[in-house]
Structure 1
C-alpha cells in the first residue's frame, strides 16, 4: 500500500474527530457524554454478552473458560441477528428502554460515537489497558472526544480472496492490482469455465454495502469526506468508484445473485467454488480452508490486497470493540471480562480458531500464527492503511443514505450521477456543524 493511502487514513481519523466535536446530539454534554470511567464500574455477579453469531464456537469456548474460573460471575452469550444493522437496532432498542438485559456489547467499530454521545455506554479507564501494544487505528475506533468507550478486540481489513489454482491454469501469474487486471483474469479463466462468477463482495442493502461502496470510492482516489470533514461524493473519483460497481453488475462481472450477498452468503458462494474473486474479511480464511468437506476450495485459494482503479485499493477499516452498557448491573465484572477476552492469549486463540484479525500488534509477528496464516502481513498493511467510515453521531442516517445511493445505482433504479447528487445533499445535512 502507498504512503499516500496511509496519510489519507490518518487524515480522515482526524477529520472524524472534528466532525464529531461539532455534531449536536441528544445525550452529550461538555464532558463528552457517557458515564464516568472508574466510578461507574461497580458491582459483581452474572452478566450477559450481546454479540453477533459465534460462527466458530471459539467465543463460547472462551466464555466457558471464564465461567469455570468465575462461578459467581458467569457470562451468558446472547446471540443477535447475523446482519450488523439488526444487531445495532436491537442494542439501541435495549438502550432506549434503559434495559439491564445486556451488559457487554460487541460493537461495530463505527458505532462508538453514536453509543457514547447518547450515553448508552460508559467511559472505560484507559490506563487499565496496555493500549500502546494495540494497532493504533483499532484503538482510535474505541474513542469519542478523546475518551475511551470501547476496547478493540477484533480488527478488520478487506482482502481479495482469489482462486490461485484457476489463475495458474489460465496463465495468470499474479493477483490483480487493478480492476481492469481483475476483469482480464476473469476473462481468461471463464474462457474454459464459463459457469463460474468473476467477483463479489457484500452488496445487499445493509452495512456491508456501506463498506464496499466506501472502498470503491477510496480505491478510485476519492473519499466520502474530505480533509475538512465535508462530503465529497460529487467528485469524479466518487463517480468512478460507484461506476465500478454499477458497470460490474451490468456486464455480469459481478453475478446478479451478489446483489443479495451479505458476508455469509458470499462466503458460502466462494467456498462452493462459484467465484474467482471475493472481497471479504479475514474470518473467511479459516472456514474456506476447512478440510471437513464444508469447503470445495480448501488449499486452492490465496489472499491479496484489494485492487483499485489504477493501483492497489484501499480497505475500509472494520472490526469490533467491547463496551459496557450504561444501564447494566455488575459493571466491575464486565470490565474484568473484557480484559480477559482481550488478553494476548485469548486473542491468539481466536486467531487460530477463526482467522479474524487481532488488535494486538505482537500477534502479527507470532511465528505459529504466521505459519498457519501467511497472509497476516498483508492483513496488517490493509488495516494500517484502511480508511474509517464516517464516524458520525447520526451514523444510522449516514449509512442508510450511503446504502440507498449505492443500491439504487447498482440495481438500475437511478443513475450514478443522480444517486451521488442526492447523497451529497443528504450527507451535507447530516454532517453539518
Structure 2
C-alpha cells in the first residue's frame, strides 16, 4: 500500500521505510505552465519507474533515502541521475533535456532561482496546491517554488551563507567573539597571524571565480552595503554608491586577504582549503559543517571551528537565499509517481534524516528549534535567522543570461581587468534589456 503523507504532515507509516531510514542514519510561455503534455495544465498521471536528477551528492546519503523509497515501491523504482558540481552545468543539461522534450528526466532538483525560467518555458508540470501542505515550511522558502501564483516546485532544502571561523585560533589570540564587521574581521586576522600557529593561515575566502558563486558573492556584498542588483521596480540598480561599495569590498578582499588561488577555487575547493587548516574565515553553506567536523581524517579542523552570521560594513551582513526545490518535468511519463516521490523526499521525516546525516539546511521550520537538532548543530538558530533575512539572486525568466552577465562583469572587476565603476556601468547596460518587462 502506498502511504505518502502531505508534506509537513504525519511521518511515513511504513515500517520498511522507517527501518531503512534509521539504518541509513548510522552509516517563456503562458500562465499555465507544464502539465502532463508539456504545458497543458492537466492532472498528474502515470505510475512506474522514474529518475531523480540532481547535482553531485557529496554526502553519499541520497542513495540511502532513495533506497528507502524503492523498498516500499517495487513497481515505482527511482534511479538517481547525478549532474556535475557546478550549477551552471546542471542548469544547462536540464535545459538541453527539456528543449528536446525528452522524458529521460522525471523529478528535477532545481536551484531556487531557476523556477521562473523553467516554469515560463513550460518545462515543468504545475503541481496541485491542494495535495501539498507548505504551512510548516520556512516562509522564505515557499515563494521560491512559485511562478505567477502557481506552484511548480516544492522546497526540499534551504541555504544561506554563514561565516565559518577557526574558533581555536581566535581564542589563542585573545578574541572572544567572531567579527560582526569587515574591519573587525581584518583586525582579527592580524592578531591571529602574530601567533606561531597563524603565520601561514590565509585570512578570508568567498568565491570569486567565474561561476554562479560569483553572482552569489556579488548579491551578498551589494546587499550588505545597502544596495541591490535589481531594484524594487524590477530594473537594474547598479549605478549607486552602495553597489560600488559592495563590489569594492570583493575587490579589496581578493587582493589583500584571500588565498592567491582564490579565483580558481569553487565551492568544493573552498571547503577543502578550509578543512586543510589554511583558512581563518570563510563564507560557506551549511553542508560544509558535517564534512569539516568529520573524524575520518579528512579534516584538520574538526572540533576547532564554529559558525556565525556573515559580517558587513557596519554590522551583520546579508546572506543570499540558496537551496533546492523539487519539480516534475513537463515531459516525464510517470508524473503521479514523481509527485509522490517529491512528497516523500521533502517530508519532515526525510528532511530530519537528511539534516542529521549531511547538515544540509531543511525547509521545515520546526527542525530549527528541535532540541536534538540544535544540540548536534549549534548553528541552526543562526542559520534560521540568516534564511529569514536572506536576499535572493535576481528572479527573472532570463536568469541564465542575467547571471552570466553578472559573473562576467564582476569577475573582470575582481581580477582588475576593469575598474569597479566601469564594470558596474557595463553590467547595468547588459541587464536593462534582460529585465525589461
* TM value normalised by structure 2: 0.91
Q: Which residue of 1 aligns with 2:48?
A: 45
Q: Distance in 2 between matches of 1:279 and 1:286?
A: 16
The secondary structure found in structure 1 opposite 2:135 is: helix
Query: Does 1:195 find its partner at 2:217?
Result: no
Q: Distance in 2 between matches of 1:250 and 1:260?
A: 14
Q: How far apart are 1:403 and its partner, in Å?
A: 0.5
Query: Does 1:282 find its partner at 2:294?
Result: no
Judge conservation of contact 1:246–1:410 (CA < 8 Å) in 2. Answer: yes
1:338-379: per-residue Cα shift (whole Å, max 9, x none)? 000011110000000111110011111111111100110100
* TM value normalised by structure 1: 0.92
Q: Which residue of 2 aligns with 1:369?
A: 373
Query: Does 1:157 find its partner at 2:157?
Result: no
Judge conservation of contact 1:200–1:279 (CA < 8 Å) in 2. Answer: yes
1:377-405: per-residue Cα shift (whole Å, max 9, x none)? 10000000001111100000100111111
Taking only aligned residues, the RMSD between alpha carbons, in angstroms, comes to 1.1
Judge conservation of contact 1:37–1:123 (CA < 8 Å) in 2. Answer: no
Query: Does 1:235 find its partner at 2:235?
Result: no
1:21-50: per-residue Cα shift (whole Å, max 9, x none)? xxxx3xx22x34333798341100100111
Q: How far apart are 1:426 and its partner, in Å?
A: 1.0
Judge conservation of contact 1:50–1:80 (CA < 8 Å) in 2. Answer: yes
Alignment of 1:6-17 (within 5 A): none
Judge conservation of contact 1:219–1:313 (CA < 8 Å) in 2. Answer: yes
Q: Which residue of 2 aligns with 1:10?
A: none
Query: Does 1:254 find its partner at 2:250?
Result: no
The secondary structure found in structure 2 opposite 1:358 is: coil
Q: Distance in 2 between matches of 1:114 and 1:158?
A: 24
Q: Distance in 1 between matches of 2:435 and 2:68?
A: 44
Q: Which residue of 2 aligns with 1:124?
A: 127
Q: Which residue of 2 aligns with 1:178?
A: 181
Number of residues of Structure 1 aligned to a counterpart in Structure 2: 405
Structure 1 gap ranges (5+): 1-24
Q: Distance in 1 between matches of 2:436 and 2:128?
A: 31
Alignment of 1:263-412 (within 5 A): 263-412=267-416
Superposed structure 1 runs of 4+ greater than 2 Å apart: 31-40
Q: Distance in 2 between matches of 1:48 and 1:34?
A: 18
Question: Which residue of 108, 115, 129 maps to 2:111?
Answer: 108
Judge conservation of contact 1:201–1:261 (CA < 8 Å) in 2. Answer: no
Q: Which residue of 1 aligns with 2:136?
A: 133
